[in-house]
């Protein structure tokens, strides 16, 4: 499965957000996802399986608990792919910042003129 297909599902993105905080037990993940998305425990397990099989998460056993952790390698690949587009957005955001600053300066000048009147 392509990384963007894995990340295209809101449930899997939310699971990754939970795992970004730190290692989580499958039961804890399941409780949050079931509450937020109203899906069954087997459906949550299926999403965890997709994340595992595609390298986005790892799992280890601790007694009877299964602890999941995020694996950053596929996310780095996505970040590398997105890198080529950052320059485009950074230029536009820089231009927007310049225009906003120009507008603030103009408003201050107008306020000073109005105060002098």
Whether residue 59 is contained in a domain is answered as yes
Nearest C-alpha neighbor of 56 from the set 20, 99, 26: 20
pLDDT value for 94: 77
- pLDDT block averages, 10 residues each, the chain of length 117: 92 97 96 98 98 97 96 88 80 80 86 81
pLDDT value for 21: 95
pLDDT value for 11: 98
CATH of the domain at 12: 1.10.10.10
pLDDT value for 76: 87
Q: Which residue in this structure is represented by tokens 């231009």?
A: 95
Q: 24-25 and 57-62 as β-strands: parallel, antiparallel, unpaired?
A: unpaired
Whether residue 64 is contained in a domain is answered as yes
Q: Are 19 and 69 in contact (CB under 8 A)?
A: yes
Calpha distance 57→70 (Å, rounded): 4
pLDDT value for 31: 98
Whether residue 36 is contained in a domain is answered as yes
């Amino acid at each position: 499965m392509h990384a963007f297909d894995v990340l295209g599902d809101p449930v899997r993105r939310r699971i990754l957000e939970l795992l970004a905080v730190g290692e989580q037990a499958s039961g804890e993940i399941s409780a949050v996802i079931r509450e937020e998305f109203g899906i069954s425990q087997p459906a949550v397990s299926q999403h965890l399986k997709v994340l595992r099989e595609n390298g986005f998460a790892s799992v280890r056993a601790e007694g009877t608990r299964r602890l999941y952790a995020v694996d950053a390698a596929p996310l780095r690949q996505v970040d590398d792919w997105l890198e080529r587009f950052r320059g485009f957005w950074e230029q536009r955001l820089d231009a927007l910042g310049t225009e906003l600053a120009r507008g603030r300066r103009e408003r201050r000048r107008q306020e000073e003129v109005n105060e002098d009147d």
